[in-house]
Structure 1
Amino acid sequence: MDSAILSIKGLKTYYKTRDGYVKAVDDVSFDVPKGSVVGIAGESGSGKSTIVQSIFKVLPRNAEIKDGKIEFEGKDILKIDEKIFNKEIRWKKISWIPQVSMDVLDPVYKIKDQLLETIFAHEDMSKAEAMELIVNQLKAVNLPLEILDRYPFELSGGQKQRVIIATALLLNPELVIADEPTTALDVIVQAQILNIIRNLKNERKFSMIFVTHDLALLAGISDYIVILYAGKVVEMGRTEEVFKSPLHPYTQLLLKSIPDIRKRKEKLQGIPGEPPDLVNPPQGCRFYPRCPLAMDICKREEPQLINVSPTHYVACHLRK
């Protein structure tokens, strides 16, 4: 890939449970080229949100980063002191649009107070300057100024999501992480939110990670795609390459599960079986138990990512 603003190298993030460690993200590596949108896709439990939480350093208490690096602008942020990270990087250089609005919005504070707090935590400016910044930001996400004096519970789901986008972009970050930003919104509001994100990305030129379980969304917004399965990268490459020539059986099945209004009579294909137990994952390929093309070697040996073109990688024994 091109020059990277973020580079994840061998990341292993596990969750400690009574039964052992859940290997939610297990030796994951990929880059985010500067100015690009990298989409991360996969089923629930594939490790998408754990990667996001590892980058933003908001993992739950039972999570542990066992190994790996997360390099932002050449520096491993995992080694940066939390106070410094919170002051100089979180929200200021790397921001986050979470799945759930209440992960960011405090129900007992007005929207204006929450936006001001975000600014004052990172920037030395007057209240008048901060309010000017907030007003411009609300206009950018098509929100009326009246919402500033409202509490989160007084807003619709779409309005809350726009407030979160405004919060994420307040300080002109260089990297924005959108973690399923349209979850639980109706189709019309989803389209509006996606258009806002797309337009702001084109206008402000920030880099972006866009996480979703819906591959169809990524076709219209991402430059690159990373396909995750059970904590592993199984395929990644330029969006057009992955959509045009999917190489991993899992990617192929994901694409076949996307509804196509031009093929109304065709039955959608689901993926048989269930994801593996990540406390005791399969020895070889983690997709082996569900793969329609599985071979004996798939059960014995874990496939490694290989490049089939300068920008297209796959981890599958069929592609050796």
Structure 2
Amino acid sequence: MDISSAKVLKVIVHRVGNKIRDEGLNLSKIECQRSSTLDDLLLRNLLAPVVRNGQEYYLAHESDISLNIINHYAASVFSHREKFKESSEAIAKHLYSCSSHPNIGGGEFIVILFDDIRIDGHVLQALGFFRVETKDDYLDVGEEEGVIRVIERSGISLDKIQKGAIVLSGSLKVLVIDNLSQKTKYWIENFLKASPAQTPKKCAQVAGALLKAISNKVETPSNALEFARQVEDLLTERESLSLTDLRRISKNYIDDESIDKLLVGTRLRYGITLDTDLPIESKRLAKYTKEVVTKARIAEGVSLLVSNPDAKISSIDVKSTKSGFRVVVDIQVKGA
């Protein structure tokens, strides 16, 4: 996705409160007045981070995709730019109806229409949504009657997007950032109503989470170490792995029923199901299995992390003592 020539066409800001606290909805009467400096800030600090780091999803609906509210109003804006304000108001009302969890903070809701985004030679528009739930304190300097004062203010930080989404014209694809998802998952599940795309990156992330969960289920530290070695060897020997391969190396340590339960857990957490024979790139998967191959579990709540890439744990022996346990660990260091 090339955004080097992207432009801001329209911007509007509404204030959306928490519905359960009856904070209300304040819709802006006009679009924002823009400048080249503001446009540059919006492109650099809102659009670019979502394009660069956003997770890929697809807008969805249980029965008919035309009933997906975001898809409906985004398509309206892409076809008729004069409906931008009207559509943004409808989307803000939809966001308010979704803001019914006590952990959701009320705040500004920024809607931006972008143009001239290029993908494979095609020029697309994009509709961006950015939710601000918390603000940062900063210092300003003002002068009044010859006296220069330091003034404490509160504003929107450009360092990190709290919640953002970019809907692309001509498709159901949406790029999403949700850095406050630990509070509530309403942004993706209720507001956007989107499902994760089965991208190579997402599949590797899910497979990595599954291997980590399996490792945590292995009973003894020595068996967990042996399991980690098998994972590392496979990642080195093969260009890609499948769910069948992961099952094969796991069945010696936990039973099939436990693996099935862990698969259900990862599906619920990430929203996608790994196909049995879907190839998962080893290089991608290695990024999500670092903790499995570099971290050795010694006892409940006690682990040993090896951060030296040239060092590997060759054996681990844990014995109980009156006051706890004694651990003997052999570590091999390349070139030593």
With normalisation by structure 1, the TM-score equals: 0.29
